Structure 1
Amino acid sequence: MVVVPAQDAADAGTGVLEGLAAGRPALGVGVRHARTADVARMARGAGYDVLWIDLEHSAMPIDAAAQIAATATDLGLEAWVRVPERDCGTIGRLLDGGASGIIMPRVETAEEARRVVDAARFPPRGQRSQLALLPQNGFRRLPAAELMRRADRATSVHILLESAAGIAQADAIAALDGVDILHVGLNDLSVDLGHVGDVRHPALTECCARVAAAAARHGKLAAVGGVAGADHYRDLLAAGMAPLILAAIDTDILATGLAQRAQDWRQQLAERS
């Protein structure tokens, strides 16, 4: 017997994306160091909206990423996973394991972006392989067409532009059916453009405006990472970027906390000597 639930979180669509489109800010936290689902519970308790699980800049195994993502999804958070560069082979496994979004770094052509869409979306929009059960649906069995529809609504595809070549192809990439957000990675882009570390350089701001305009022409969102601070964010919002704020990364929080705790103890000991 096939049991169809009345309503699932997956059936409600991606609320964060809808909020961003309406101009509502969303806070994201990057996950590189954590290996257990507790980081999702901490993020939920702290009021974050998105987990950005980073497999490009960590040694995290897929299993750990999927467990964290599935817990985040259960708690009502978006769980986006940045896969290693050009690694389309892990996309289906992560989505099958509980991720709600895929971020592909350093995309430079519409053909590369099309491969990401093919891996992330079921037919007819893509070529994602069929399966009968998904954690996002509580592993309840659905008719195949219904499962595909719900999964497609709950899945977001993010294309990360980090080079001049990628920026030049922003319009063609934004035009692809199945792409939801174009992200600009300011740190790598600053290197590619010859302005290493100067993420506020006018050339980078112009790139952001160009990507935002391309996204808007095709009804998509544009976002940016590597921002210098709140004033910089405000400038980029004025250029058309969505208010998606990567507010923290677990490695930075841990390193900063450890350094501060060591400094506090040394100061206390020095005061008593």
Structure 2
Amino acid sequence: MSAHHLPPLTPVAGAPWLIDRLTMGHPVAAFGVRGARTPEIARLAKASGHEVIWVDLEHSTMPIDVAGQICACALDIGIMPLVRVPEREYGVIGRLLDAGAMGIIAPRVETAAQAADIVAACRFAPHGHRSAIGTLPLVQYRRMPADTLYRAADQATLVKVLVESPLGIRNMAEIAAVPGVGLLAIGTNDLSAELGVPGDFRDPAVRAAHEAALAACRAAGKPLAIGGISDAAYSAELVRLGAAPLLMTAIDTDLLLAAAQARAAQAFATLS
């Protein structure tokens, strides 16, 4: 088939779609991947009603090629693939985006300078230093002028920064003001531990941090997701206070463990 007879490009739901949905208060379900090693996990995520899939390279030993295959599959079937990279490992960002990731989740961001470095790793020149490339899965490998390709990629790619420390909370206003940061998030598990109350999501210090972060992001006009909370009622309360309704529903390893425990209990119950 010649280039003149190629079918039209299928629109990709990238950063503008997700940011708009969250800003308007529409819930978006996101599924996490740590244990799976085949692309079919993306199909299972979509079949179960998820619109976003995020691959966790911070807390897994998954090879980058496997992460890329999962992202490419997700892109092809119409759910948005994100990757959480290990802390400060900016060099892997361009490779994941080249493979099909539509966004990067950067953990433990504590300063505006760190946030700016992450944005630069996700953007082509002149807005960053992502390495030039001829084509991308984002445009189904079509050939087009470089400036057109890079503009499309920059617009579609989400930069999500994860704040997980008291220092990051104190610097939240400056972090939120960094151009190119599209979505901010709080990792409450780590934050509560650093505040000396691990797992106590309703502790006054944790609550104060959440409220300060919400105020800073509201002033910057950017959505803030608050995760790492196993208390569903408190999560709902935070959404009512203005947190973005990004629903981190489950991680594959947690689901497998819960299902295995339930099946084992069921099997033993049949013998009692």
Task: Place the TM-score, normalised by the shorter chain, in its bin.
Answer: over 0.9
The alignment's C-alpha RMSD in Å is 1.7
Structure 1 residues 152 and 200: alpha-carbon distance in aligned structure 2, compared to 1, 3 A threshold: same
Could you tell me how far 1:11 is from its partner in structure 2?
8.0
Aligned residue pairs, count: 270
Could you tell me how far 1:128 is from its partner in structure 2?
1.0
Q: 1:25: which partner in 2?
A: 27
Q: Distance in 1 between matches of 2:214 and 2:3?
A: 44
Q: Give the letter aligned to residue 138 of structure 2.
A: Q
In structure 2, the gaps of 5 or more residues are none
The answer to whether the 8 Å contact 2:29/2:246 transfers is yes
Q: Distance in 2 between matches of 1:84 and 1:249?
A: 17
Per-residue CA deviations over 1:162-211 (Å, capped at 9, x if unaligned) read 00011111111111111011110000000100111112222212212221
Q: 1:108: which partner in 2?
A: 110
Name the TM-score, length of structure 1 as normaliser. Answer: 0.94
Q: 1:237: which partner in 2?
A: 239
Q: 2:161: which partner in 1?
A: 159
Q: Structure 2 residue aligned with 1:215, among 206, 217, 220?
A: 217
Could you tell me how far 1:135 is from its partner in structure 2?
1.1
Could you tell me how far 1:215 is from its partner in structure 2?
1.6
Name the TM-score, length of structure 2 as normaliser. Answer: 0.94
Could you tell me how far 1:5 is from its partner in structure 2?
7.2
Q: Does residue 226 in structure 1 map to residue 228 in structure 2?
A: yes
Q: Give the letter aligned to residue 22 of structure 2.
A: L
Q: 1:76: which partner in 2?
A: 78
Q: Give the letter aligned to residue 142 of structure 2.
A: R
Q: 2:40: which partner in 1?
A: 38
Q: Give the letter aligned to residue 101 of structure 1.
A: G
SS at match of 1:210: helix
Q: Distance in 2 between matches of 1:106 and 1:68?
A: 24
Q: Give the letter aligned to residue 23 of structure 1.
A: G
Could you tell me how far 1:16 is from its partner in structure 2?
2.2
The answer to whether the 8 Å contact 1:10/1:153 transfers is no
Q: Distance in 2 between matches of 1:12 and 1:32?
A: 22
Q: 2:190: which partner in 1?
A: 188
Q: Structure 2 residue aligned with 1:54, among 47, 56, 68?
A: 56
Q: Distance in 1 between matches of 2:15 and 2:55?
A: 20
SS at match of 2:270: helix
**Identity over the aligned pairs, expressed in percent?**
46
- Larger deviation, residues 230-239 vs 95-104: 230-239
